[in-house]
Structure 1
């Protein structure tokens, strides 16, 4: 996906440069928007002209939207994993499950792991963060969430991506503000207000300018280093890596 977008970006940049060199000021694209009504007649409802710069900007927005939907899909798979992990935990120690969940499944003594997983998948309101809160009863999980070699609070990461997914699916990836988004994560984590670490973490995933309320998952270019290379932070890959690390950590403790 990235290589296709980069080729398209290079192509449109070349077209813009050629137009500028030739002194062409006309729009790069002229659109006439229409549809067929129920009598099969064309109804023209708008027209639009786009410059080369506008096309480049639209390409960036579209690419970011693709990453947003990829993240939403990734988190849905992660939620499935966490639900199954909760089922496995019940098979190991039924006291890990909440009393409400145990009541809903009825008799469970001696049931196999596959049965527990099936019952976990049928629970209402079983989100990844809910499963994580129950799995913290296993030794080591809570400690590794907050103190690990990744230097990030993985508990906060789960709330971060969960809220990102909600905005992507229901609000086209738009938050009222990055500050409000950070405050929501703090509430999820049981904090009265966001810590500076939470604000810094959230700030990495919002754009600037007209995109300052948009979840921004495109690569972030760092300043050139002394060795002459330009280094980038792969935002999507970073979030994906943290979720995989969390899943690996849970698997190792079940």
Structure 2
């Protein structure tokens, strides 16, 4: 596989995720607007909006009798319906972020396979397994991809190798025109992904969660971390009943001229893409000089 193919495949998957995210947003906005319009009309007619707007019934199929049994129903007001839409939109955003990390991880693996295929000296010997080194010249890209997939501690181990091989990439992770610590953002998103997949995006131990991120990022500073970093991580959470949940919804910013918003999810996805672009260009400059 060529380097451009690897990058184009990543971009294609990212585009599909971004389109899905924007569609989810549009559907939620349209439905909320529809419900708010209905709410306004109802207020004019009856003076309040606490009436039951919808009723949902729930059924069980009894394996023994074959009968369908209604076991519960829920009545909801318009405000409750709107709240549910917002919660589901956030949940969908969480899964988009998780999947964006997965395609980032997949991209990193394929890049690592590519440099191994191009230059056998780019890998430490342990990554080749039990093969005799003289046999490597006969191996195609698929062999290196299979070996890359079983490397331990992905993506950390691969990114650390990239930092060794490409000093400029290591520098640009921290010192760049985006004013982002991209290494920190990788670790942040990785921990978000773990919390989303395994804990429904919620935690009752936010201070410990933040500590783990800062320690892995090298920003713990012997127990005296930068308060701005703590506040930054905390800003992604919404607290309720001693539970902190990851919130990735857009933050609206209204002024006299126009309405705008800060897109949390696309900003995080963009950090991963920036890293991928950095690595793509670094590898291209070293291994594809003829291009």
When normalised by structure 2's length, the TM-score is 0.77
Give the aligned partner of residue 27 of structure 1: 52
**Alpha-carbon distance, 1:76 to partner:** 0.9
Report SS of the residue matched to 1:140: helix
Q: Please, which runs of 5 or more residues in structure 1 have no aligned partner?
A: none
3-state SS in 1 of match to 2:204? coil
* Matches of 1:21 and 1:196, distance apart in 2: 49
Query: What does 1:189-228 correspond to in 2, within 5 Å?
Result: 189-190=217-218, 191=220, 192-193=222-223, 194-209=225-240, 213-222=244-253, 224-225=254-255, 228=257
Q: What are the within-5 Å matches in structure 2 for residues 1-40 of structure 1?
A: 1=23, 2-23=25-46, 25-38=50-63, 39-40=65-66
Give the 3-state SS of the residue equivalent to 2:248 in structure 1.
coil
Offset, 1:116: 5.6
Q: Do 2:252 and 2:262's aligned partners in 1 also have CA atoms closer than 8 Å?
A: yes
Q: 3-state DSSP class of the match of 1:151?
A: coil
Check if 1:165 corresponds to 2:193.
yes
CA contact 2:108–2:158 (8 Å) conserved in 1: yes
* Candidates 145, 162, 165, aligned match of 1:135: 162
Asked whether the 8 Å contact 2:112–2:148 carries over to 1, the reply is: no
- Cα 1:187–1:96 change in 2 (3 A) is farther
Which of residues 152, 158, 162 is equivalent to 1:125?
A: 152
Out of 239, 243, 259, the residue aligned to residue 230 of structure 1 is: 259
Q: Which runs of 4+ in 1 moved over 6 A?
A: none
Deviations 1:208-236 (A, max 9, x none): 556971111111123x34x6223311111
For residue 130 of structure 1, give the secondary structure of its aligned residue in structure 2.
Answer: helix
3-state SS of paired residue (1:44) = strand
Aligned with 1:73 (options 94, 99, 124): 99
Pick closer, same or farther for the CA change 1:90–1:64 going to 2, 3 Å: same
- Aligned CA RMSD, in angstroms, stands at 2.5
1:144 alignment partner, SS class: helix
Give the gaps of 5 or more residues in structure 2.
1-22, 284-291
Q: Shift of the alpha carbon at 1:110?
A: 3.3
Deviation at 1:178, TM superposition (A): 3.7
| Deviation of the 1:189 alpha carbon | 2.1
Q: Is the 8 A contact 1:129 1:158 kept in 2?
A: no
1:85 paired with 2:91, answer: no
Secondary structure, aligned partner of 1:110:
helix
Q: Distance in 1 between matches of 2:184 and 2:131?
A: 30
Structure 1 CA distance, aligned partners of 2:40 and 2:242? 25
Aligned-residue offset at 1:160: 0.9
**Distance change in 2, residues 1:10/1:150 (3 Å):** same
Query: In the comparison of the two structures, how many residue pairs are matched?
Result: 252
Q: TM-score, normalised by structure 1?
A: 0.87
